[in-house]
Amino acid sequence: METSGSSVRDYSALSPGFSSKMGSISNGSRSSSVERRAPEPSPLSRRKTYDKAHAAAERAKVKEIKQGVINPVPATKSSRSATLQCVHVAEGHSKAVLCNNVVSVRYSSSLVFTVSTSYIKVWDIRDSAKCIRTLTSSGQVTVGDVSASNTSRTVTIPAGENQINQIALNPSGTVLYAAAGNSVRVWDLRRFASTGKLIGHLGPVMCLTVDQSGNNQDLAITGSKDHYIKLFDVTEGSLGSIGPTHNFEPPHYDGIESLVVQGDILFSGSRDNGIKKWDLDRKDLLQQVPNAHRDWVCALGVVPGSPALLSGCRGGVLKLWHTDTLGTLGELKGHESPINGISTNSSHLFTASDDRTVKIWRARGGLDSTLETVDNADEVASI
């Protein structure tokens, strides 16, 4: 029995919590009944238990945050000398923040437009933020909120519809453009009627921006997974399918993720990690940075009245560029997750990310003073 006892102790040491059960059979055959050990849960069962507990914790965390909060970020010794300082963090979303202007948000003087899957909801902010119309990717219109009665949390796209990737308003706020599938649907907001589509891409349209020409035509610029950027001249009252008036050459090496216009200059960001600068008047490629980031360039933004371009990538890195030279002014790790949107005003920068936050940034001494200190376009400052 000495040997038997030794083996039991060895096994007990290897399996904590098992020794008490083994003690009941130390008398061997003299024991009339043997306590049976409960089977250990399988790795799959343990994983399911963990997932359930994690999901419950996340739900409880979300439930605690009943409204969004904007928290100040204390300045550190290193941030005081940085070109860009994160001054506030807006929190409260339970999912990734895809843009900071759901997939896309735009607003006019009295209406707000939000996108989720294949639906655009039109909200009248004069009437307690009431949803007055629901527009679909296929061109259908419903009065009110079509999904209000749907209590299912499952995200599905109905048959005949497509995911809407982005929307944009024309400068006058009378026309809405919605990128879905390989085309862009055009909406007359005075009648809430679909008037036509912009066609010509061979892959899903991922981003678009709308400007206005000297003769009051809309200039719609689209970027697609087919690697191409296209320009459409849309005259007021145009009906039916509208083809592009220009294809920007040479194309990117991968899909287009972001577009932004500053005056007569267009900047494009791509999954090929590069940024290109185009002349909208001559339709020429002026400059390019092939490896602007180490990952997809998911967001671009320009600062009003300042020669500054901001870019954000899937790796969470935020970079600042001089628009005249495309020389880098610096970079920082802005988020721990992809940066999906960048917005700016005259004093602050805003970045939206998959990490569920919107960060608010301020340039030390103003961006103009920062740009004036950069004498060499190749100089790289740590921000």
- Domain boundaries along the sequence of the chain: 102-148+159-247
What pLDDT, on a 0 to 100 scale, did the predictor assign at position 101? 39
At 58, phi and psi to the nearest 5? -65, -40
Q: Please report the DSSP string for 269-285 in residue order.
A: EETTS-EEEEETTTTEE
CATH code for the domain defined by 102-148+159-247: 2.130.10.10
Q: Determine the pLDDT at residue 293.
A: 96
- Tabulate helix, strand, coil % of the chain (nearest 5): 15, 40, 45
- pLDDT for 85: 74
Give the other-Cβ count within 10 Å of 59's Cβ. Answer: 11
**pLDDT at residue 271 in the model:** 97
d(CA 25, CA 199): 79
pLDDT at 158: 86
CA distance 62 to 15: 39
351 and 361 in contact (C-beta within 8 Å)?
yes
Supply φ then ψ for residue 80, to 5 degrees.
Answer: -65, -30
The low-confidence residues of the chain, meaning pLDDT below 50, are: 1-35, 62-65, 100-102, 369, 373-383
What does the angle CA 196 – CA 252 – CA 377 come to, to the nearest 5 degrees? Answer: 120
DSSP track, 21-84? HHHTTTTGGG-S--PPPPPPPPHHHHHHHHHHHHHHHHHHHHHH--S-EEEE-PPPHHHHTSSE
pTM score:
0.73
Confidence (pLDDT) at 361: 86
Give the pLDDT score at 153: 53
Question: Within a 10 A sphere around the Cβ of 12, how many other Cβ atoms?
Answer: 16
Strands 317-322 and 328-333: antiparallel
- Per-residue pLDDT of 227-238, as tens digits, reads 999 999 999 889
CA distances from 15 to 2, 43, 299, 347 (A): 20, 17, 53, 62
As given in the structure block, the two tokens for residue 116 are: 């989720």
Q: Give the whole-angstrom CA distance, residue 98 versus residue 114.
A: 12
* pLDDT the model gives residue 2: 40
Q: What is the predicted pLDDT for the residue at 277?
A: 98
Q: What is the pLDDT of residue 92?
A: 63
Which pLDDT score, from 0 to 100, does residue 27 have?
43
Distances (CA, A) of 375 to 154, 325, 363, 381: 54, 11, 18, 12
Q: What is the pLDDT of residue 100?
A: 41
Quickly list DSSP for 219-250. EEEEEETTS-EEEEEE-TT--EEE--SEE-SS
Token pair of 169 as six digits: 């308003």
Q: How far, in Å, CA of 311 to CA of 297, rounded? A: 7
* Structure token pair of residue 306: 């300042």
Burial class (CB in 10 A: 0-12, 13-18, 19+), 83: buried
DSSP 160: T
* Dist CA 106 CA 314 (whole Å): 23
Distance CA 96, CA 298 (A): 14
> Tokens 């209406």 appear where?
111
Distance CA 262, CA 291 (A): 22
- Taking alpha carbons only, the member of 207, 134, 112, 111 closest to residue 167 is 207
